[in-house]
Amino acid sequence: MSVSDTSFRLPRRAGEWIRKQYVPTENGFRFSPESPVCLVGSCCAALASETLGTLSDSSAQEIEAWTDYIQSFQHGDGWFGDPYLQPTKGHVLDSAYLRGHATFLAMMALDALGQRPHRRLELLDAWRDDTALYDWIDQLDWINPWRESNWVEWIGYWLLVESDITADHVPVREEQFPAGFAGLLQWLEDHQDPTTGFWGNPPYKAVQRTLQQMAAAYHHYVFYYAAGRSLRFKDRIVDHTLALQQPDGLFVPGRAGGGPCEDLDAIDILANMYRLADYRREEIERALKRALAALLRNQRADGAFVYASNGASLNSLPSLLWTLFRPWHHPGPRSRLRALRQYVSGARQCYAGCPHLRFKTNGGDMFSQWFRPLAIAIAASVLGEDRSPVWWRFGFRRQITQGWWPGVHKLTPCQKINVEAAIDSDC
């Protein structure tokens, strides 16, 4: 397949898969073919469509119904809630976290669709003080930096949104900071680990510890980019992130096929370090080329991007062998057939641990439909149109949050990023 064919087919096929998840009678989208219409599915559909440049395929009436559906989930205090986004007992993501997650997705999705929430987020008032927000972040459980870093990103994003600060204001000057934002940045400055450039103290060894810290740091760095703050320890950030890349080109140690969160986090970090630092640039380029090739394999023929291409089969192979060949247990024909069917059809997961939001690891889900193309767009933007195997009019976010690629909002859609002009050699 030629580069031009790939460039044309990727967003078109991905957009077609998204449209297939739309249920006109409910004006919303399923999270996956196995799940019901829900807020999370509808929000991820909007953000994926923005990234892919396919929002224009929807009529004005459809966009209006889509936004009305998302708005209907907002409560009187400003929070959004999805009745299907409910935690299982004992899960690490509790109801407060999932409410914050739903609110974050809904606000971004409404912006992608050209709207704002009907109500302001009342609880944000508690964080409109630098000392109060600093102290609140400090009391989070930083043994789990991946989870807690989301709260830091959400609050920073909400503060900027309520002050109407977007990518057009970058670099955001200190006198423009909304109340509380300086406290957030100060906490990050005070607690960055000089040995890695990351945050937190997860109770894991070696590479798993690095993975948890890297995934957390991705949520924090966006505010450094926005404020034009010099990010310290860039060389160590690059070293530790590159060390996570696996033989398949993706970034989840011990799991074939990667993962949409982890892969995007690592690619975004490497892309920005390439932009900001004159350090191991050729190695970053090679890493992004390998990752890009692997990411492109994550799109199925029907247009769906999967959580992990081939990952389900490879990761579940030990379980299959255990079922079939335990020496003290001889399964009958039905048990063998059931195990083989499950292996062939692929493993199933629940988004954020929520049992109503099931999807097949290799079958397509709306979160992967957003994060996989976003990671592709970022990696391709670094390589440039002449060296990337895929190129389309990347729909990067205008808000300072996930999906924003620093500097690109000032370029025409098919301009390449002039990375050389942004080099900062202070590592």
379 by Cβ neighbours in 10 Å (0-12 / 13-18 / 19+) ranks as buried
**Secondary element (H or E) of residue 236:** helix 234-242
Are 315 and 347 in contact by the 8 Å Cβ rule? The answer is yes
Per residue in 1-59, pLDDT tens?
Answer: 444 455 668 999 999 999 999 999 999 999 999 999 999 999 999 999 999 999 999 99
Give me the phi and psi of 337, to 5 degrees please: -65, -40
Residues constituting the chain: 427
Q: Which residues, other chains included, contact 29 with Cβ-Cβ below 8 Å and sequence gap of 6+?
A: 18, 21, 22, 23, 37, 38, 41, 42, 44, 45, 366
Handedness of CA 277, 278, 280, 285 (dihedral sign): positive
Q: Pick the residue with more confidence: 413 or 126?
A: 126
- Identify whether 203 is part of a domain: no
Please write the tens of the pLDDT for every residue from 121-179: 998 999 999 999 999 999 999 999 999 999 999 999 999 999 999 999 999 999 999 99
Q: Is residue 334 part of a domain?
A: yes
Q: Which of 378, 406, 382, 397 is nearest to 172 (CA)?
A: 406
Q: What is the pLDDT of residues 176-203, one digit of tens each?
A: 999 999 999 999 999 999 999 999 999 9
**Which H or E run contains 41?**
helix 39-52
- Residue-wise pLDDT for 340-360, tens only, equals 555 555 578 899 889 999 999
Locate 305 and state its tokens.
């991007």
Count up the domains in the chain and report the number. Answer: 1
| Predicted model pTM | 0.88
Residue 49 included in any domain: no
Name which of 405, 396, 393 is nearest 47 in CA terms.
396
User: Is 395 inside a domain boundary?
Assistant: yes
Residue numbers of the domain that contains 318: 233-422
- Helix (H) / strand (E) element for 37: namely strand 37-38
Phi-psi region of 353 (alpha: psi -120 to 50; beta: other; left: phi over 0): left
Residues 6 or more apart whose CB falls under 8 angstroms from that of 240 comprise 196, 197, 198, 210, 213, 214
Distance CA 128, CA 199 (A): 23
In a domain, 320, yes or no: yes
Query: Cβ distance 210 to 243 under 8 Å?
Result: yes
Distance CA 79, CA 73 (A): 8
218 found inside a domain: no
Q: Are strands 37-38 and 28-30 parallel, antiparallel or unpaired?
A: antiparallel
